[in-house]
Structure 1
Amino acid sequence: MGEIGGTNYNTPIMQDKSIDEVQSYVPLVIDTIISAINEVIDMGAQTLVVPGIFPIGCSSSILTLRGSQNKQEYDNITGCLIKFNKIAEYHNEVVQAKLKHLRELHPNVIMIYADYYNGAMQIIYSPVKFGFTNRVLKSCCGGGGPLNYNKFVICGHALSTVCDDPNAYAYLDGIHFTEAGYKIIFKSLFQGQYTTPSFNSLCPTPTPTSASQ
């Protein structure tokens, strides 16, 4: 179903909208997601993957534009902004509750929740474990600053710079992950524990013996 919702929150946050205003968008965004799900089910869809959204408060764009002098606003372990991650968590909780109801209405349709949030947070909590040896919240491509994000010199601008080794960075441009980052998230979704129900339970990977038979 695509990652519906990320831009709806990121844009007003970067425009300095209040936390209450941004959070008020959640029901509207969720209604759009549910409407889209119902539409494709009516068209005959039998299996759907419905993702949550990523941890907003960990992206270098938000950290740069909405940073605070108050250390209590940051998570002690990750350095992410707590209040913006709570919006993402709230959004994801509502999506999962709505999916539970939809599964009851459409018992013959498989609806898989993809936990983008925790798939990303595992990287942010343990970057070295996944091979990200540079500062995990710093962007590979950008216009300078502590986290290599500058709203006037974004990635792709003539004055922006790109890191020598993107595979050592989790974040690409202040919002999106690098290919290496997305690869880890992909594996954790399709081969790991970050989907409900799990892909492995629905489409188990054949063993070499069964594959050869």
Structure 2
Amino acid sequence: MNHLIEHSLFLMGEIGGNDYNHALLAGKSIDEVGTYVPFVVETIISTINELVEMGAKTVLVPGNLPIGCSAAYLTLYNSFDSTKYDNLTGCLIQFNKFAEYHNKLLVTKLNQVQELHPDTNIIYADYYNAAMQFFRSPEKYGFENGALKACCGGGGTFNYNDLILCANPTSTVCSKPYTYANWDGLHLTEAAYKVISKSLLQGPYTVPQFNSLCPTSMLKEGDGLSSFM
């Protein structure tokens, strides 16, 4: 078992999303939910430490996604105040800053874990900035219908209605999901996750870079990872 653990890649997360989403979408203030962040991060770190004690040598730890770009938040926190929105992406600034706060604290704690366990690869996966690529330039990644409107939902500006969620008999589903980045208001489409995964595994959005530790170029065409890419 120890041999298996030592030669496995552990993916921690993405943890924290539901802790924050359930509270924020239920109407709790962002200041109150901000007090949860140290506890969420400490839980992640505690689990990593336990894995390391069991013999884990490579742990990939994702940060949180830019929740201010989700159709759910854009709908429920809709405002006529233009200063609340990022001019380039149309995302809600306050909620993206919240995700950045979580990620900054997480990185600080991960660095501490790495210092304590120099023989273990603690890899931070920057989901936030990997996703911001297509929120800033959706058409560049093939998202002809933009990055903010949900493919599956209950209507409205962003096709999100908390009373008519995706899979509700009266909800609607787009005919070309691959042209959307947002699936149901809270989750991304398969096409969007493909951009993120490729950016992590082959690009610069992990610290240290994933492909410098686990070279994906060594995989043969037809292997699970290369075919997914």
TM-score (norm 1): 0.95
| Residue in structure 2 matched with residue 211 of structure 1 by the alignment | none
Name the CA distance, whole Å, in 2 between partners of 1:203 and 1:51: 16
SS at match of 2:122: strand
Shift, 1:201, TM fit: 1.2
Q: Tell me if the contact between 1:50 and 1:113 (Cα under 8 Å) persists in the aligned partners.
A: yes
Name the CA distance, whole Å, in 1 between partners of 2:98 and 2:118: 30
One-letter amino acid of the counterpart of residue 57, structure 2? Q
Name the CA distance, whole Å, in 2 between partners of 1:203 and 1:33: 23
Shift, 1:207, TM fit: 9.9
Deviation per residue, 1:136-162 (Å, 9 max, x gap)? 200000000000000000001111110
Shift, 1:74, TM fit: 0.6
One-letter amino acid of the counterpart of residue 32, structure 1? T
Q: Tell me if the contact between 1:16 and 1:66 (Cα under 8 Å) persists in the aligned partners.
A: no
SS at match of 1:157: coil
SS at match of 1:111: strand
Name the CA distance, whole Å, in 2 between partners of 1:37 and 1:67: 37
Q: 1:92 aligns with which of 73, 83, 103?
A: 103
| Residue in structure 2 matched with residue 156 of structure 1 by the alignment | 167
Shift, 1:203, TM fit: 2.4
> Which 5+ residue runs of structure 2 have no aligned equivalent?
1-11, 221-229
| Residue in structure 2 matched with residue 79 of structure 1 by the alignment | 90
Name the CA distance, whole Å, in 2 between partners of 1:79 and 1:65: 15
| Residue in structure 2 matched with residue 55 of structure 1 by the alignment | 66
| Residue in structure 1 matched with residue 185 of structure 2 by the alignment | 174
Deviation per residue, 1:160-182 (Å, 9 max, x gap)? 11000000000100011100110
SS at match of 1:61: helix
Corresponding pairs, count: 208
Name the CA distance, whole Å, in 2 between partners of 1:64 and 1:154: 13
Q: Tell me if the contact between 1:14 and 1:66 (Cα under 8 Å) persists in the aligned partners.
A: no
> Which 5+ residue runs of structure 1 have no aligned equivalent?
209-213
Deviation per residue, 1:73-119 (Å, 9 max, x gap)? 11111111111111100000111111111001011110100000001
Name the CA distance, whole Å, in 2 between partners of 1:186 and 1:206: 17
Instruction: Give the aligned CA root-mean-square deviation in angstroms.
Output: 1.2
Shift, 1:135, TM fit: 2.6
